[in-house]
Structure 1
Amino acid sequence: MAVYSIGFGAAAPMYVLRALELGVSAGPAGVIVALTGLGMVLADLPAGRIVERIGERGAIAVGSAVGMMGVVAAIFAPNIGVLAAGMLLIGASGAVWGLARQSYLVAVVPPGDRGRAMSLLAGASRFGLFCGPFLGAVPVHVMGPDGALWLQLGATGLSAAAMLSIRAIDGEYSASDTQPLHTVVLENRRLLGTWGSAALVVGAARSARLALLPLWAAHVGVSAATTSLIFGVAGAMDVLMSYPAGVWLDRYGRRATGVPAMVLFAVGYAILPLTSSALAVAASAAVLGVANGLSNGLIMTVGADVAPDGRRAEFLGAWRLTHDLGSFVGPTAVGVMSAVAVLGASAVTLSLTSVLGAAAMQRWFPGVPEPPKSARV
């Protein structure tokens, strides 16, 4: 997972710059980046069915092939339409990867250790996101934004080969269930509409950084290579919080972890419009990195807590849909607001939204490691 994330971490801040290279303005560039989130949203429910049918390894093979096609499309895109299609494919690949790794851990890790397990899994991903911008700075300096995309292409192929070497869980998946995909959403609609609203805000706060920080950095005159290094600094904060966040999840509960994380997101976005130098932008990015690190494994752990045994992978696909819908909405809002208002308005809006997310977690997330059975619907 770390290798896969190295590639994505190197490329993520460069997709905005790739869009700018193709002649679009800041607003449409943010929307293009948001298409990664849309690809995840469209693939979440099918990803659950894929994992149920062919297991984690088969799902990873399919997702990796789709992701590599998306990266190739982005590298050679002659226009913004081809780049948009590539972003959709990359997002779909991420949905399959995320669902397969989460489903595996739910099956093999005891409930009392889930917070640490999920946070360490997220930490491996964050470690890759941390290393990615630093490793990507060199090819970006030599080749421009495409250098990081080439790194992502190679990392995706290598990580797929590593995952395919892991032995599948015997008897874990079955093709006998033929119920329509939408039934899992209907059966759990109350939980997805309440707890899921908090997951949506987390997804928006996390993913909006990938669009807003590079746009703001470019706005204040920070170079592409320096922007990559800023993402690396934020990634360091993220990685350092991974294991402590897991311990906090298991010891004090989901609410006690999620609420402070969302408050830090609110602070990080609130101070971004006040920055005007690379150092100040890095400080804002570091606060957002701490917030992201504190929320490591949070949404995966909560989903694991309430996933029904009979249709676990498909439920987790629906649960991830709430988070990934936020991953689409966040950068989309940045792009739309940047097109019709000043760029700083996006940061203020995200700050206020993060406060609402903290309130939703305070209202619905459990205060103890094991959620009450009455929470299941």
Structure 2
Amino acid sequence: MRSLVVTVYLPALLFAVGQGAVIPVVALTATDLGATAAMATVVVALRGIGTMVFDVPAGSLVGRIGERRAMAAATALLAVALVGCILSPNAYVFAACMFVMGCGWAVWLLARLSYVSEVMPMHLRGRALSTLGGVQRIGNFIGPLVGAGAIALGGLDGAYLVHIVLAVAGWLVLVSVPDPHATSVPPHAHLPVAQVVRSHRHVFATAGVAAACLGVLRVSRIAIVPLWGERIGLDAAQVSLIFSFSSAVDMTLFYPVGLASDRFGRRAVAVPCLVLLALGFAWVPFTDSVATLAAAGVLMGIGNGLGSGIVMTLGADYAPPGARASFLGVWRLVSDVGQAGGPLVAAATIGLVGLGASSGVVAALGVAGAGIFLVALPPAHDDPEQAERT
């Protein structure tokens, strides 16, 4: 894993810090350019939608030109999108730039996932990918602090400049450092999407659906916890403090979780991850103070931390050798449906059954996902691909 520090983790940290600097100011930039609050919400969602839409093309691109060239293309696309964000004359152009940014992120993330999947043996893969997930969490935690300093100096454009500089720096690290695994990474075989889906339909219909459920829970807490905090009379500072506690717990778990995943199997972390997240959501409607909501938030943080890198790890485990990129493109699309659809699920259930019951519905999705993982994932140390065939 030491060989991944410079080739994977340092560039990932730089990209994640840049992303973390930009995300908090997207809605503010949109409103500054004339967007209504509703339109600003759509603009925020467009980055995730761009990532989801481009997952499968990203897999094809990585499969055709390789990880390093794909990384260069992704960096260029991100830089163009970020410059476009700075120069946007109106909210519509800015929205298009956010979508393109999501496309660039899809390529970058899939290239790194494909590379780690190839070079790490299965007994180290859980640690390698949970660490990658942890690095992304740390970067997203640091990013807003760096962005705040840049905004103080240069306004909202400063956050986008931070992302440009760090994205280019990450790419320069990649191209300037020799790849210690260059001779061990075989060329990719490009497979048509229909063939990938047909050959691995059982995986996508079981573990893929459970991964999508996990995505729904992860993004729904960003909506439900603040809204419930407002319902019980908490102010914005108190809600932010709850998220800080939750994130701090989340970030500390990534390496122990990866170690447990490698020693005891993916099921040993995937099932508790969803169970604890579900319990946290089930608890939310019964909280009535900052202390009790914070306790529910910390429980969710523990659950989310137990899932550090688990979706990437499962994708790497199931991906067929030689055609990993094509498979991972479809796998990321299936799992990203939950990330993109989570806010819609939360909004729809809040409108239909109310805020408290909505939290219960999301909890039920978590229980369902945990049940699917419990049945679908193989016992410790078994090869998931072999389990799928049998």
Counterpart for residue 388 of structure 2: 375
Of 326, 344, 349, the match for 2:338: 326
Structure 1 residue 250 and structure 2 residue 287: aligned?
no
Is contact 2:206–2:373 with CA below 8 Å preserved after alignment? no
How many residues end up aligned between the 2 structures? Answer: 374
CA–CA separation in structure 2 for the residues paired with 1:343 and 1:77 = 36
1:187 maps onto 2:209 in alignment = no
Give the match for residue 77 of structure 2: 66
Structure 1 CA distance, aligned partners of 2:176 and 2:116? 17
User: Would the aligned equivalents of 2:219 and 2:343 in 1 still touch at CA under 8 Å?
Assistant: yes
Alignment deviations for residues 60-117 of structure 1 (CA, whole Å, 9 cap, x no partner): 1111222233334445555443343233222222221221111111222121111111
Q: Is the 8 A contact 1:35 1:328 kept in 2?
A: no
The code of the aligned residue for 1:157 comes to V
Match of 2:322?
A: 310
Instruction: Write the deviation string for residues 26-85 of structure 1: whole angstroms up to 9, x where unpaired.
Output: 6x5544333222212211111112212222221111112222333344455554433432
Moved more, 258-267 or 202-211: 202-211
1:255-294 Cα distance to aligned partner (Å, 9 max, x none): 1201111122223334556678877766554443322221
Pick the aligned partner of 2:60 from 29, 34, 49.
49
CA shift, 1:245, in A, is: 0.6
Segment of structure 1 superposing worse, 347-356 or 244-253 = 347-356
Higher relative contact order structure (alpha carbons within 8 Å, sequence separation ≥ 6): 1
Aligned to 1:288: 300
Provide the rounded CA distance (Å) in 2 between the counterparts of 1:78 and 1:227: 34
Instruction: Please report the TM-score for the alignment, with normalisation by the length of structure 1.
Output: 0.84
- Alignment pair present for 1:362 and 2:377: no
Q: Give the aligned partner of residue 4 of structure 1.
A: 15
- What secondary structure sits across from 1:310 in the alignment? coil
Identity %: 38
Residue aligned with 1:353, SS: helix
* Contact map agreement 1:39 1:92 (CA 8 A) in 2: yes
Does 103-112 or 362-371 show the bigger shift?
A: 362-371
Matches of 2:281 and 2:153 in 1, distance apart? 31
Shift of 1:179: 4.6
Do residues 109 (structure 1) and 120 (structure 2) align? Answer: yes
Q: Confirm or deny: 8 A CA contact 2:190 2:323 kept in the other structure.
A: no
Verify: 1:157 aligned to 2:146, yes or no: no
Q: Is residue 200 of structure 1 aligned with residue 212 of structure 2?
A: yes
Specify the alignment match of 2:142 in structure 1: 131
Match for residue 253 of structure 2 among 214, 222, 241: 241
C-alpha separation between the residues in 2 aligned to 1:137 and 1:278? 26
- 5+ long unaligned stretches in structure 1: none
Report the residue type matching 2:115 in the other structure: Y
Q: Is the 8 A contact 1:16 1:215 kept in 2?
A: no
Rounded to whole Å, the distance in 2 between the matches of 1:116 and 1:250 is 7
Which stretches in structure 2 are left out of the alignment for 5+ residues? 1-11
Larger Rg: 2
Rounded Cα–Cα distance in structure 2 between residues aligned with 1:361 and 1:18: 40
Displacement of 1:167 after TM fit? Answer: 3.6
Q: CA RMSD in A?
A: 3.4
